[in-house]
Chain A
Amino acid sequence: MEAFLNTVYGTVFWSTISFLVVLVLMRRMAWGPILQGLKEREEEIDGALNTAKQARAEIENLQADNERLLQEARAERDGMMRDARDMSDKLIADAKSTAKTEGERMIDQAKQAIDGERAAAVADLKAEVAKLSLEIAEKLVRQELKDDGSQQDLIGRMISDSKLN
């Protein structure tokens, strides 16, 4: 045991000193910066990957937005076109119905006018007939005063002369 210890003193002494020295120096000069650098780089890479992921998600969002906008625009256009068609259809229908009622109204007016005219004409005719009748009656009365036969002729002639319309 003593012989063993005798050979071991030196290595124990020197390894303690040198290991402590190398541990302290390496910690300060090597492991500190190395581990720090590795950690920083890993964080950087993680950060970059996350940013890329976010950017991709954003692009996807944008694309979805665009798609949605396009869809909306298309729908709007369709709606507008439908509205316009409806409007024109309605306009045409309105115009048609207006024209019809107007035409009917004008026909009615014309009819009324015609009826009025005819009534006026009939009234005129009646008045004329009455006037004629009076004239005839007057002539008849005058004729009668001359002779009976001639009165009869006159009446016949007069009636055949006056045509009722």
Chain B
Amino acid sequence: MWNNTRSNNGTMRFSMRVFALLLGFGLTSSVMASSGGGDKPDPGEFIIHHIADAHDIHLWGEGPSAVHIPLPVISYSPEYGWSVFSSAHLLHHGEDHVDMSDHGMEGAHAEPEGHGGGQYRCHKTELTYSLDGNGALHAQNNSGDHVQAYDLSISKSVLGMFIVIFMMLLIFPRVGSAYKKRKGQAPRGLQNALEPLILFIRDEVAVPSIGEKKADRYLPFLLTTFFFIFLCNLLGLVPFIGAFNVTGTVGVTLILATFVFIITTVSGNRHYWGHIFWPPGVPLPIKLILVPVEVVGILLKPAVLMIRLTANIGAGHIIILALTFLVFIISDYGANTAAGIGTGIFSVAFMIFMYFIELLVAFLQAYVFTLLAALYFGDATQEAHH
């Protein structure tokens, strides 16, 4: 018995060490590779580049030797129409020419211009597309004028979102059918693993905030939101796959917050709006101050939801990247090996610590977002009781 627990502990400790080593290696490798280019990279720019959404998945390497997974670029210009092509054309400087002739357009590469890399001329729309230093897509017409084109690409964050949705559609319907098939039996397997989380959202988040009767109406949204955010957060913590940062992307959290705003506004009852536009039991002069504050609050509440989630997840990624970068800054980009090793030990140790914090944050932020959304729904549907 004693021996058994001891060996179990040993196995666990060993696998934790391997995990930590892999993490440390995974995180540092991309930076080490990037420092091989000769120029000293600017840490701030580097980090923001990794946090921001992108038109490709950057696995490793920098410059011409970089390994990317190109993603489809989709652009719509009200004047010139749709254009779909691989982002490889914009990233690789004239190499790997992809023939798009069977899509009714032919790719042609111009010389790399500025920071953004390549250009791509779509023959159908006759627009030339390029990326700027911030990764934003720009379109020019034949006379070189800037054209308004909406960038609807399947970017890194969009792909991450698709992966999460695919996972959700793979997991949850199966759990749902388990409840139908194994009616009246104890939960098992996947169903057993997810039931505590579902019950947690129902019994600790939805029911206390909204009330037993009305909670059922909002539960599908709250559960979807919770698991979507949670899985997106976890996806961002998987090393080696190009650091997805879905919930750290403003566009995604903006939409999540907009859904919360719409549902709150639509389900707001007379009591809710009454409290906003004519707060009862408050003297008139204070009403004049309170009403604008409340009105701004309607929009501010979901806006804060959006900012909190984006900032928390983005900050986690920034801290880990910053800790990685610390090694290169202190070792003067490889000039001082001893300092690099010394800092590296502490940096990696602290990074592993941060990684566990981030695992907690991944859950916590999903929980906080869901809880606050539930509280807003509860506010909106609360019956008058005074």
| Interface residues of A, Cβ cutoff 8 Å to B | 3-4, 6-16, 18-19, 21-23, 25-27, 29-38, 40-41, 44
Contacts and interface: CB of A to CB of B under 8 A. Distances in A.
A40 B183 contact: yes
Nearest to B252: A15
Given A26-B220, A38-B179, A38-B198, A7 B53 contact: yes
20 contacts: A7-B52, A9-B151, A9-B152, A10-B152, A10-B155, A11-B249, A11-B255, A15-B158, A15-B251, A18-B158, A19-B228, A19-B255, A22-B168, A23-B221, A25-B169, A26-B169, A30-B176, A34-B172, A35-B219, A40-B183
Interface string B119-142: 000000000000010111110000
Given A22-B224, A31-B220, A38 B136 contact: no
B15 interface: no
B176 to A, nearest CB: 4
A32 to B, nearest CB: 7
Given A15-B161, A33-B176, 19 more contacts: A6-B136, A7-B52, A9-B150, A9-B251, A11-B158, A12-B254, A14-B158, A15-B251, A19-B228, A19-B256, A22-B169, A22-B224, A26-B223, A29-B172, A33-B177, A34-B172, A34-B198, A41-B184, A44-B184
Contact of B151 (A10, A27, A29): A10
Contacts of A23: 220-221, 224
Contacts of B154: 10, 14
Contacts of B169: 22, 25-26, 29
Contacts of B179: 33-34, 36-38
Nearest to B165: A22
Contacts of A22: 165, 168-169, 224, 228
Contacts of B220: 23, 26-27, 31-32, 35
A30 to B, nearest CB: 4
Interface residues of B, number: 50
Given A8-B250, A11-B252, A15-B251, A21 B172 contact: no
A18 B162 contact: yes
Interface in B143-182: 150-155, 157-158, 161-162, 165, 168-169, 172-173, 175-177, 179-180
A17 to B, nearest CB: 10
Residue among B132, B249, B255, B256 with the most chain A CB within 10 A? B255
A10 B168 contact: no
Given A6-B136, A14-B154, A30-B173, A38 B202 contact: yes
Contacts of B150: 9-10, 13
A33 B228 CA distance: 19
Contacts of A27: 220, 224
Contacts of A12: 251, 254-255
B215 to A, nearest CB: 10
Interface in B211-252: 216, 219-221, 223-224, 228, 249-252
Contacts of B250: 4, 8, 11
Contacts of A25: 169, 173
Nearest to A14: B158
Contacts of A40: 183-184
Contacts of B184: 40-41, 44
B199 to A, nearest CB: 7
B259 interface: yes
A26 B224 contact: yes
B176 A31 contact: yes
Nearest to B154: A14
Contacts of B173: 25-26, 29-30
Contacts of A7: 52-53, 134-136, 151, 251
Contacts of A8: 250-251, 254
